[in-house]
Chains A and B, each alone.
Chain A
Amino acid sequence: EPEVTQTPSHQVTQMGQEVILRCVPISNHLYFYWYRQILGQKVEFLVSFYNNEISEKSEIFDDQFSVERPDGSNFTLKIRSTKLEDSAMYFCASSRPTSGSSYEQYFGPGTRLTVT
């Protein structure tokens, strides 16, 4: 069964450094998302991406964040200058296969980002 994959599983970085989190969504899906979950808190929406552009973003997704689909398979989240409060689990998700109108989202296993 197709699944969303993410790399790395764990990333440790120093405050102020840039990080890139990588995702490979399910191949026939049209919508891609990034969510984050701070330890012990809710899963929070960051950004959605459709047709090679951002379709929606949250207040969390400020100028320090960017997303890109550099080729036909990868979807990346970049944090330009990490802060301590960026430490969280980051989940990539995809949805809406090209055939059908299902709305469920399929999540990857996550990347644990630790900012020191």
Chain B
Amino acid sequence: SQKIEQNSEALNIQEGKTATLTCNYTNYSPAYLQWYRQDPGRGPVFLLLIRENEKEKRKERLKVTFDTTLKQSLFHITASQPADSATYLCAIPGGEYGNKLVFGAGTILRVKS
């Protein structure tokens, strides 16, 4: 079955810097990959979706890349702010029909002012 690996160590960065988070998957390349943000005690919030034929996707200060050769997605937050501090989850479609999401464990991002 498909597995997702995200850096389990928290990422601590200084305000204004670019945060880069990594998501690696095993086996087959998914048709798309999604990134979510989760705050403590809250549900995941959708951020970005990138399809397998897209190399890069941007939304405001967020950028996602998708490298099917490396089986990896990178998630970047530029000009990071303390309000960006949260857990960021990578997710890919799974199951027979691809409707369910398989989540990684997430990477905790802490942005210090």
The answer to whether A and B interact is: yes
In the complex, which residues of chain A have a beta carbon less than 8 angstroms from the beta carbon of B97?
Answer: 55-56
Interface of chain A residues 10 through 40 with chain B (CB within 8 A): 31, 33, 35
The answer to whether A42 touches B94, judged by C-beta atoms less than 8 angstroms apart, is no
With both beta carbons as reference points, the residue of chain A lying nearest to B38 in the complex is identified as A43
Contacts A103-B32, A103-B93 hold; do A42 and B105 have CB atoms under 8 A apart? yes
A87 contacts the other chain (Cβ, under 8 Å)?
no
Give complex CA distance A102, B48 in Å: 11
Give the number of residues in B that approach A within 8 Å (Cβ atoms).
25
**A48–B49 touching, CB < 8 Å:** no
Counting CB contacts under 8 A, is A45 at the interface?
yes
The answer to the question of A75 belonging to the interface, with a C-beta cut-off of 8 Å to chain B, is no
The reply on B16 being an interface residue by CB < 8 A is no
Residue B61 at the chain A interface, CB threshold 8 Å = no
Question: Please, which residues of chain B bring their CB within 8 A of the CB of A56?
Answer: 95-97, 99-100
Indicate if the CB atoms of A105 and B42 lie closer than 8 Å: no
Question: Are A109 and B42 neighbours in the complex by a CB distance under 8 Å?
Answer: yes
A55 and B94 CA atoms in complex are apart in Å by 13
Q: What residues on B are CB-neighbors of A55 within 8 Å?
A: 97, 99
Contact of A45 among B42, B45, B94, B106 (CB under 8 A): B94
In Å, the complex CA distance between A35 and B102 comes to 10
Residues of A within 8 A of B45 (CB): 107
Which of B34, B41, B102, B106 contacts A104, CB < 8 Å?
Answer: B34
Q: CA–CA, A103 to B36, complex, Å?
A: 13
Q: Is B19 an interface residue (CB 8 A)?
A: no
State which residues 86-113 of B face A: CB under 8 Å.
89, 93-97, 99-106
CA distance A55 to B38 in the complex (A): 26
Alpha-carbon distance A24/B100, docked complex (angstroms): 19
Q: Which residues of A contact B96 (CB under 8 A)?
A: 56
**7 new A-B contacts at CB < 8 Å, known A55-B99, A105-B46, A109-B42:** A35-B101, A42-B103, A43-B89, A43-B103, A95-B99, A107-B45, A107-B46
